[in-house]
Structure formats: C-alpha cells, structure tokens
Amino acid sequence: MATRAGARKGRGATSNTSGRFESHAREVFDDGWGTADEPAPRLRTTVEVDHSRTVLSFNDSPDVPFDRSVNPYRGCEHGCVYCYARPTHAYLGLSPGLDFESRIFYKPGAAAQLRTELARRGYACAPIAFGANTDPYQPLEKRLRVTRELLEVLLEARHPLHITTKSALVERDIDLLVALAAHRLVTVHVSVTTLDRDLARRMEPRAAAPERRLRAVRTLADAGVPVSVFAAPLIPGLNDHELEAILEAARGNGACDARYIVLRLPGEVAELFTGWLEAHYPLRASKVLSRIRDLRGGRLSQSDFGLRMHGRGIQADLIARRFDVAYRRLGFEGLPTLDTAAFTPPRVPSAQLELF
C-alpha cells in the first residue's frame, strides 16, 4: 500500500516505503484531481497473529551480552523512527515504514511455547533478553498480556532474564519483577533517548514521555529491582549533548547502571530517518547526517562487529570519554550477576500420567 509522505500525528515514519524484497514499489502521484495534496487519513493499528513455531531466538553476536532472546511482538506501535528492528518487517512482505508501527503481530501461545522449549532435554540455562528487537511493553501488551505470561513461566522455572523497554507499563508487573529480583533473576533496562518532551514526541510518538520513564526507574529501584538506563540512541547533532543530563537523571532516580548506544541506520532505516529529519528538522538535517557519516566511516550505516554500537573516529572517542567520566563521577555501582544455577525445567502439560 502506498501512502502519502509527510509527518503524521502519532506516527514516527513519514512514509511507507516498500521492503527490499518486494518486486514492485508503489508511490503516490498527483493524478490531476488534487488528491495528493489532501491530508493523509488517520492510520489505525491492526493486530495479527504470529504463527512462529519457536519463541526463543539465538545469536552469536559479540556486540551483545546475551545469546538468546524472546520477542512477544513483531513490529512496534511506539513508532520510534530510528528503530533498527524496522527492516525485519520486510521479511513479512510489509514496509519497514508505517507498516512496522501499525501492523503488529503477536504470539498468543508464546508462554506455552517457551515452557516447552525450556523443558527440552539438554537445555542449558542462560539469561534471556526481552526487548532485544521490539518493545515487550508496547501499548498492546496492556490488553494482550503476552509478556506477563512469559514472566510467569520464567519465575516458575527460576530462569534469569533481562528486560529492555521505554514503557512505563513495566510497572504493572512489579509483583513478578520483585519476586524475580529476590532470586537474582532479573535486570530491567529503561531506554531514555532524550529529556526534551518535544523531541521525544516527534521521534518516539507513542512511547512514554521521558519523565514518565524516569518515574518507572524510581518505582522499580525503590522496590528492589536492579535498573539500568540506556542513553540510546545518541544522535550526533540532535541529542548527543544530553548524555550527561540523562545519566544524572538516571542516577538521581535510582538506576544502578547505565549504557549508551550510538544511532544505527541499517537497511531501510537510513531512508526513513532521513525523511523524518527533513520533515521535522529541515534546517539541521544535513548537519546531523554529516556527523553520522563521520561516526560511520563515511556511511550512514555500519554493521561491523565491535563498531556498530559505538561508531569510530574522533566523535566516537569523545562520546566514550564523556560517558566514562560521567559514569565514574555519578558513582554507578553496576548490575548484579544473574543466577543460572537455580533453574528448574518447567512442567509441560501432558496426557501421560507421571510416575512420581
């Protein structure tokens, strides 16, 4: 489906560009009747079932501190224009643009699938990452409760996990998180991209406001749940000057650790982010893109292991030094090591009676 380009209220992407695997591309043109100049209609979110046969995904990337993850949802209604997961919608024959944030797939049987996979003979326990691709606490979770059901399985099995989110909805599950934390089984990482409400509203239109995320950090920390804040992504020329302020706000609200990631623009995200910049910050677009290229060896994207998270060059080195100085000055203590020894394979419902 082709849609008119331009900023839309409540949406991050400004277009619905075709995925890279499509044989045809569609675009809006003026047929002489003036319809191309009419305001774009409101784009509603549709929800579909994800029929994946497995719920655990494994990786061997040296850039991330986990080798397995669970993603309850495909696509994300938060609409973050910079999201590196957007290109995955192309595998579904959909656009990484507006389709990614308005056509969401969920896994209604995820908890049962996870129970089965954890119970398999020979499964070796290691922390599972939630939110490595799309947010496990995006708006639909309030109604669908897929993430909460997964947490219940992990608590029963005493299985460790990491959660990354930019949603205050994580507070809803504080009962489970406190129980997991009591056994050293969970860490929560809250992404805070900016403290500027206007920038956040344009860049992450359906995510929680910055101050609301920080309040969630305080709530979790006060309850005894280990919390870290991700200053991510840092966008040179747009929000990188906020790094120290974000770390100070994180520490002031009880975060025990912090990390940062520099903007990544893989696949179709480069085009989508460029279109967003030109629509919202036309006078700053060329400067921002130039500084991104300085971080990425002259390109907008860099997929090399060891470089894609933090970039390279003078700018990258300066950001790293700024982070290190602020981290030490603020006295972050670091996250606890999670316990894998208490894991007990969960029971899987069966018609076969148990011997004992």
Summarised one tens digit per residue, pLDDT across range 115-169 is 999 999 999 999 999 999 999 999 999 999 999 999 999 999 999 999 999 999 9
In the prediction, which pLDDT does 3 show? 47
DSSP for 200-232, written as a single string? HHHHSTTSPPHHHHHHHHHHHHHTT--EEEEEE
Number of domains in the chain: 1
How many of the other CB atoms lie within 10 Å of CB of 120? 10
Q: Assess whether the previous peptide bond of 226 is cis (omega < 30° from 0).
A: no
Written as six digits, the tokens of 156 are 């029963």
**Residue 25 resides in a domain:** no
Looking up residue 252, the CATH number of its domain turns out to be 3.80.30.30
Place of tokens 């850039």: 63
Say if residue 87's pLDDT is above 80: yes
Cα separation of 296 and 350, whole Å?
Answer: 53
What count of residues does the chain have?
A: 356
Q: CA 269, CA 272: separation in Å to the nearest integer?
A: 5
Overall pTM surpassing 0.85 (yes/no): yes
- Asked if residue 35 is part of any domain, the answer here is no
The residues, ordered by sequence, that sit 6+ positions from 127 with a Cβ below 8 Å of its Cβ are 66, 68, 160, 161, 162, 338, 340
pLDDT for 4? 47
| 93-115 tens-digit pLDDT | 999 999 999 999 999 999 999 99
Tell me, yes or no, whether 5 lies in a domain.
no
pLDDT tens column, 272-307: 999 999 999 999 999 999 999 999 988 988 877 777
Domain that holds residue 269: 44-330
Percent of the chain with pLDDT over 90: 78
Cis peptide before 345 (omega within 30 of 0): no
- The residue among 325 and 305 whose pLDDT is bigger is 325
List the one residue out of 167, 159, 210, 158 whose CA is nearest residue 188: 167
Average pLDDT value over all residues in the chain: 91
Query: How far is Cα 339 from Cα 318, in angstroms, rounded to an integer?
Result: 35
* Residue that is written with structure tokens 């101050």 in the block: 211
Is 198 domain-assigned? Answer: yes
In a domain, 100, yes or no: yes
C-alpha closest to that of 324 among 255, 241, 243: 243
Q: Which residues contact 90 (CB under 8 A, 6 or more apart)?
A: 19, 20, 21, 22, 96, 267, 268
Q: What is the pLDDT of residue 338?
A: 98
Written as six digits, the tokens of 10 are 């409540």
CA distance 103 to 89: 9
